[in-house]
Chain A
Amino acid sequence: MAPTPDSLIRLTAAQMSAKLRTGEITSVELTQAHLDRIGAVDETINAFIHVSGDEALQTAAAVDASRAAGGAEAEQLHPLAGVPIAIKDLIVTKGQPTTAGSKMLQGWMSPYDATVVEKIRTARMPILGKTNLDEFAMGSSTEHSAYGPTRNPWDITRIPGGSGGGSAAAVAAFEAPLALGTDTGGSIRQPGAVTGTVGTKPTYGGVSRYGAIAMASSLDQIGPVARTVEDAALLHDLIAGHDEKDSTSLAEAEYPEGRIPSFAEAATTKNVAGLRIGVIKQLQGSGYQAGVLSRFQEALDQLRDNGAEIVEVDCPSFDYALGAYYLIMPSEASSNLARYDGVRYGTRVLPESGPMTIERVMGATRAAGFGDEVKRRIILGTYALSAGYYDAYYGSAQKIRTLIQRDFEAAFERADVLVSPTSPTVAFPLEDKLDDPLAMYLNDVATIPANLAGIPGISVPGGLSEGLPVGIQFLAPAKEDARVYRAAAALERLLNDNDEPPLWAQVPALEEVTR
């Protein structure tokens, strides 16, 4: 039976790749099916800020033509050629607007492609569009977007996580099989957790940041968003690697065996026998919802029952991670966002009255162009870096970073991977925490340590609580991203090893809501 558009979008990226290769489906069909899905549900979900149907279909048609031509041209196609993808609107794209979720960049057209976008284009993946996010990636709910909040496909009254709520929701709602996200303190993993998708924060430097609009340079990483661990790994394989435009990106030689291992291959491992898994004492207990902890315990049981060795590890400095993060991140962000001043590009706003000097135009532009959360972080960061406070705040936070790295080092002596719930809660209702920045910040308590230490982390669905997805996070030492794929793939198999469809397939049908 020929696949229907609806069944097409429910395939995994790996399955799409296989069917494209055999000619069972075309990329145009596949891309059109996703565009149709976007047309049907995105008014509700608001995962996309910009949809680029024409461009996507052109790429798809060209891939189909290459495939039809056969021979070397078809053989040289990347495995993901023709598989559509969505891109977080923090990552710059030539020919499509990039807004960073901010009024500041409304209408801005990047004159260059991010390195990851170049790779996507080289692999000839149709780009469906740009996904919604908290303004400049500052938030954990995608409510701080100048383009309206994104809704969680599992419950449209709830948040999809953030800042990459758009990418996660798009993938969860079958608007895209794959997406790119960025993760500064959990912005790939936490949305993954609350939307029942898989998201990876690679080792810092594992993926080029060139073209990712910077929030906090020493923490930001681009990573894959998918519905399965294998799909995430396939995309990770494509985007990983050294980039001479990013001084902080890792050369192949930096990896343990002098090369970047295949993450897709790691994701095919289904065996956890003998794997030492460390449970982080500080990332459970108070502050975590009971339902989240139950799913977490069940996951541990499954892993233990299948031969994994579960140990508890103590990371005392994690108690200071949130504080350190909320000093380092805003400090770097306050600097990175200084460039938005209405001189070279983006919005320019004139003061309503008084002298029309550049100083005042900059002030008015930044007052009108930035939302409240962005302003809060800029002011906080300006404070932490200002004369007389640097040592107490920024300096102390950088020391905490050292302590966290030491905690991880000690933990990884005892365990191959570490595990925790990804997020302390399931998706919370929209507007629930909008007026309480501190409560909002607590969402990232489990994801932040990995960013501070630069190590890789993944969030994989761990079941439902109150009908909403719960995420399980695996962490590995720097450059050992393959380990998180191994552990996550194994857990994914264990949890889906029954007659029921995989968790991601259980997302409510959204047509009913829209129509």
Chain B
Amino acid sequence: MSEISRADVEHLATLAHIAMTDAELEKMTSELAVIVDSVKRVQEAAGADVPATSHPLPLTNVFRDDVVGHAFTAEEALANAPEAEDSRFKVPAILNEDDDAVTANTPQEGGAR
């Protein structure tokens, strides 16, 4: 039997941001177990001395010149937005604070993670 538990799948669904019902979790757990069992034998095949290939062709150093190309107008950028306000994309409230966001009245700059 596979090592994948329902709790694992629940955790994976959380990581992947897919809301799942109990029934879906059950079904996904059993399907995943079968699939994982069938693919896990890749572990047997390659020894430690085999290098990983993450790219089919050995290209290196593909760079772009630092030249400005095209940019959208705000209208174009927001054309497909589910919701927008003030030339910005509008999203529901964020609970998990991990940003440098600013309040509407005190603009300041901040950073990436």
Cross-chain contact B28 with A376 (CB below 8 angstroms): yes
Contacting residue for A109 out of B17, B80, B96, CB 8 A: B80
Query: Nearest CB to that of A352 among chain B residues?
Result: B19
User: Is A434's beta carbon under 8 Å from chain B?
Assistant: no
| Residue B68 at the chain A interface, CB threshold 8 Å | no
CB pair B19 A364 closer than 8 Å: yes
Within 8 A of B (CB), among A343-402: 343-348, 351, 355-364, 366-367, 370, 375-376, 378-380, 382-383, 386, 392-393, 395-402
Shortest CB distance A111–B (Å)? 6
Q: Which among B18, B32, B38, B64 is the interface contact of A383 at CB below 8 angstroms?
A: B32
Number of interface residues of B (CB under 8 A): 50
Within 8 A of A (CB), among B32-51: 32, 34-36, 38-43, 45-46, 50-51
Q: Given A218-B56, A396-B43, A454-B57 in contact, is the A345-B12 Cβ separation under 8 Å?
A: no
Q: Are B51 and A402 in contact (CB under 8 A)?
A: yes
Residue numbers in A under 8 Å from B52 (CB-CB): 395, 398-399, 401-402
Binding site of A, secondary structure by majority: helix, strand, loop or mixed? helix
- What chain B residues lie within 8 Å of A375 (beta carbons)? 18, 20, 28
CB distance from A475 to the nearest CB of B (A): 13
Q: Which residues of A contact B20 (CB under 8 A)?
A: 367, 375
Complex Cα distance, B96 from A244, in Å, reads 38
Bound-complex Cα distance A392 to B12 (A): 17
B28 close to A383 (CB less than 8 A): no
User: Could you tell me the distance between the alpha carbons of A380 and B80 in the complex, rounded to whole angstroms?
Assistant: 30
In the bound complex, do residue A437 and residue B12 qualify as a contact, i.e. CB atoms below 8 Å apart? no
A327 at interface, CB cutoff 8 A: yes
- Taking the closest CB of chain B, its distance from the CB of A492, in whole angstroms, is 27
**Selected A-B contacts with CB under 8 Å, 9 pairs:** A111-B72, A323-B41, A342-B82, A358-B91, A358-B95, A364-B19, A396-B45, A396-B46, A402-B46
Q: Is the CB of B35 within 8 A of A438?
A: yes
Assuming the A-B contacts A379-B13, A438-B38, are A358 and B94 also in contact, with contact meaning beta carbons closer than 8 angstroms in the complex?
Answer: yes
Closest A residue to B9 using CB positions:
A379
Write the nearest CB–CB distance from B57 to chain A, whole angstroms: 5
CB within 8 A of A343: which of B16, B18, B36, B89?
Answer: B89
Query: Contacts A320-B45, A382-B16 given: A357-B32 contact, CB under 8 Å?
Result: no
In chain A, positions 213-234 with a C-beta closer than 8 Å to chain B are: 218-219
- How far is the CB of B91 from the nearest CB of chain A, in Å? 5
Q: Which residue of B lies closest to A245 (CB)?
A: B64
